[in-house]
Structure 1
Amino acid sequence: MSRKNNESIGPVSPEIAQVISDGQRLIAYIARNGGAELSADVTQIIVDAKYKLLRDEWSAEVETVFLLNYDKLAKIVYPVTIESVNAVIPVLTGKSSKPTKAAYAVSWYRRYTLLALLLLLTTQIYYLFGKELSSNLHSIFEQREKIQIQLDKEVIPKEEGAPLSIQLARLNQQLDANYKLLMHWNKLWSFGGTFSGSMPTYFQTKYEMQKKAIYRDRVVNQSQLDNLELNRSLHQARMVFFENVLSANSVLKVLQGYILPLMYGLLGAFIFVLRSLLKEIKSITYTFSSEIRYRLRLTLGALGGMIIGWFLKPEEATALASLSPMALAFLMGYNVDVLFSLMDKIIDSLKQAIDKPGESKSAQGQAKA
């Protein structure tokens, strides 16, 4: 049977051909999964469209009817879409099938979640080790100074002084061991760098002048030179000691206040993304827009974990005393909406504080009038 020229529209556009193919795939998905009830009329029109196209029976009227029924099909299968079906369900090509976008997403997020977890554990262990060394050094140094003062200033019996000397020697050994480990700890964040121990100009000049004064004597006192050199070495050693301790404390504060909360927030965001990804794959609703949303969620989660402490009032911090700062950072990364709610609350409070002075002035003006 021949058709009139005004009824034929020639070859269909690539977009319509793609929609026809998408309709077949949606019909197959519904039939295979049984999550929605197919309409016989809609199914007939969608299936016939492919064969009419093959038999060159396509027309404007056929295309209109097809598009109207495709719209009905899309509503039947919603929230599943052709994009989500293509992203989650593999297309069979012979015996094998190519990995889907959802499979790539699962692999990517799983891999980087494990990487984030390993980095977090490494950083946490590094922080705890440095914190313990710094705390031990501070405690041992104070005990050592107290015992040294007792031995230097107090007149104590020999039987009491001997135990103090033994205790002092033990503390010196502990101090040296902790200090050596702390220097190795500092080398990691400084990439192998060490402190030079160079003396400030004033002390260096003072040392040189004292040395010249000793040499000006006709008889050089070797004992004085030895004591001067010993004091100089002690000064340099203490400078390096305190430089290591101060720098370690600064790095510990940075780790505790910024790096670790950020990493905990990032891990919380990764956990949220994996959970959401599992839900969307199970419900066949994962699409490319989900991927964009997940990547943004990772950024927001990391930032949320880091800055949550900035927005907590003292009474709010007391209410959350049962949670450690790192646990709070993890929760903010997992549910960053809580942080946004807190920020909105602060902004509303600021607006009210700004508006109140203006309202009070207008009220005073009306009272005077």
Structure 2
Amino acid sequence: MANDAPTKATPSSNKELAMLAEDGRRLLQYVARHGDLTINNDIAKGIISISAKIENNSWTISDEIQLIHSYDRLARQVYPVTIESIKAVVPDTLSGKLSHPTASKTITWYRYYTVFTLLFLLSVQMFYLFGYTLIQTLAAYSDPITNTLPVDIEAHYLLLKDWNHIWMLGQELHFKRVSTNNASGSDLSIAFSTNLIAAQSFIQMLQNYLLPLIYGLLGALIFVLRTLLQQVRNLTYTSSREIGYRLRLTLGCLAGMITGWFLKPGMGEMALSPMALAFLAGYSIEVLFTLLDKLIDGIRKQSNTPSTNQHS
């Protein structure tokens, strides 16, 4: 009977029980609004009645045990939805003031990241295509280069110099003749070849490293946004998932670069397939790393086979 007597409440215990009761009421509201779930009468009665006792500061140890037991049963019923996910997605109105859930803020930030990455990718892609067009035209010019160039070739050459000037951050290419006795080429021909080789090298770096990395990052961002929307719709998003999303972006960049290493296109053959594979690798990094694990396992088995045959 001693356990049924009102417990002398302390500020900390009262606050903890009040928070637990409030969380239980929020779970009950979720069940009431969800069409596929039904509220157990004993659970609802236990949480609501004990919440009233806590507000009046007349709860007992038995009430505390019943509250914990009812909350545990309710949490099992609504799983994988948790009180943390509800607080992260649904605005809080029980306290009398409307709070902005963390899920909406997270989605907003990842939307900004995705739009910025897409705009940056389009800028790099257009810069790449413009330089590639100039390189193709100048590389096909096979006539001897003297002190003058045809008008159309000179226009392409001047544009290529400005294009190199951009990616070199305002710097210009400087060259010196190795031998002044070499009369096989003029200064114009040397400058022409220098700018063309530098542009070709930069194009290779773009299509082998930078573009696959950005495509992989974009794929990872779209996966994160899609996952966020599903979790918000199902009320399963929690703030702790943010760490996994950030790691996902890093792994997406790495997956895109790995795809660029294995699928290096020839000069100008940056067709859709290598970049599309980089995007898919960033979107589904599990598939890429599963294939890499299988490849490593196959190599390990092959390396162990000769040693096994020698011992036998």
Q: Tell me if TM exceeds 0.5.
A: yes
* One of 144, 147, 151 as aligned partner of 1:173: 151
**Distance (whole Å) between structure 2 residues aligned to residue 264 and residue 103 of structure 1:** 25
Residue in 2 aligned with 1:122? 123
**Distance (whole Å) between structure 1 residues aligned to residue 132 and residue 277 of structure 2:** 20
Residue in 2 aligned with 1:367? none
Residue in 2 aligned with 1:48? 49
Conservation of the 8 A alpha-carbon contact between 1:197 and 1:236: no
Residue in 1 aligned with 2:26? 25
Residue in 2 aligned with 1:325? 274
Q: TM-score, normalised by structure 1?
A: 0.76
CA shift, 1:249, in A, is 0.7
**Distance (whole Å) between structure 2 residues aligned to residue 281 and residue 103 of structure 1:** 9
Query: C-alpha deviations, 1:62-84, integer Å up to 9, x for none?
Result: 11111111000001111111011
Structure 2: 5+ residue stretches without partners: 265-270
Amino acid of the structure 2 residue aligned with 1:21 = E
Amino acid of the structure 2 residue aligned with 1:345 = K
**Distance (whole Å) between structure 1 residues aligned to residue 230 and residue 219 of structure 2:** 17
Over 6 Å off, 4+ runs:
3-6, 93-96
Residue in 1 aligned with 2:176? 198
**Distance (whole Å) between structure 2 residues aligned to residue 4 and residue 179 of structure 1:** 92
CA shift, 1:35, in A, is 3.8
Residue in 2 aligned with 1:165? none
* One of 259, 269, 274 as aligned partner of 2:210: 259
Query: C-alpha deviations, 1:127-165, integer Å up to 9, x for none?
Result: 11111111110112x1x24xx8xxxxxxxxxxxxxxxxx
**Aligned-CA RMSD value:** 2.7
Q: Which structure has the larger Rg over C-alpha atoms? A: 1
Partner-residue secondary structure (3-state), 1:36: coil
**Distance (whole Å) between structure 2 residues aligned to residue 289 and residue 175 of structure 1:** 58
Query: C-alpha deviations, 1:175-217, integer Å up to 9, x for none?
Result: 21111000111111111111123333x43xx59xxxxxxxxxx
**Distance (whole Å) between structure 2 residues aligned to residue 104 and residue 5 of structure 1:** 46
CA shift, 1:6, in A, is 7.3
Residue in 2 aligned with 1:227? none
1:347 aligns with 2:300: no
Amino acid of the structure 2 residue aligned with 1:83 = E
Amino acid of the structure 1 residue aligned with 2:198 = S
Given the superposition, is the C-alpha separation of residues 96 and 175 from structure 1 closer, same or farther in structure 2, using an over 3 Å criterion? Answer: farther
1:287 aligns with 2:229: no
Residue in 1 aligned with 2:38? 37
Amino acid of the structure 1 residue aligned with 2:228 = L
**Distance (whole Å) between structure 2 residues aligned to residue 23 and residue 5 of structure 1:** 22
Conservation of the 8 A alpha-carbon contact between 1:197 and 1:237: no
Given the superposition, is the C-alpha separation of residues 253 and 4 from structure 1 closer, same or farther in structure 2, using an over 3 Å criterion? Answer: closer
CA shift, 1:7, in A, is 5.6
Partner-residue secondary structure (3-state), 1:191: coil
Partner-residue secondary structure (3-state), 1:324: helix
Query: C-alpha deviations, 1:225-283, integer Å up to 9, x for none?
Result: xxxxxx69x63322222221111111100100010001111111111111111110100
Partner-residue secondary structure (3-state), 1:288: coil
CA shift, 1:309, in A, is 4.3
Conservation of the 8 A alpha-carbon contact between 2:7 and 2:60: yes
Given the superposition, is the C-alpha separation of residues 350 and 16 from structure 1 closer, same or farther in structure 2, using an over 3 Å criterion? Answer: farther
Conservation of the 8 A alpha-carbon contact between 1:311 and 1:343: no
**Distance (whole Å) between structure 1 residues aligned to residue 5 and residue 40 of structure 2:** 32
**Distance (whole Å) between structure 2 residues aligned to residue 36 and residue 13 of structure 1:** 31
Query: C-alpha deviations, 1:295-316, integer Å up to 9, x for none?
Result: 1111111110110244579xxx
**Distance (whole Å) between structure 2 residues aligned to residue 130 and residue 18 of structure 1:** 62
Q: TM-score, normalised by structure 2?
A: 0.89
Trace 1:60-209 onto structure 2 (pairs within 5 A): 60-92=61-93, 97-140=98-141, 142=142, 144-145=143-144, 172-200=150-178, 202-203=179-180, 206=181
Conservation of the 8 A alpha-carbon contact between 2:3 and 2:62: no
**Distance (whole Å) between structure 1 residues aligned to residue 249 and residue 232 of structure 2:** 19
Amino acid of the structure 2 residue aligned with 1:67 = I
Trace 1:221-300 onto structure 2 (pairs within 5 A): 235-300=186-251
Amino acid of the structure 1 residue aligned with 2:230 = K
Given the superposition, is the C-alpha separation of residues 252 and 299 from structure 1 closer, same or farther in structure 2, using an over 3 Å criterion? Answer: same
Higher helix residue share:
1
Alignment: residue pair count:
303
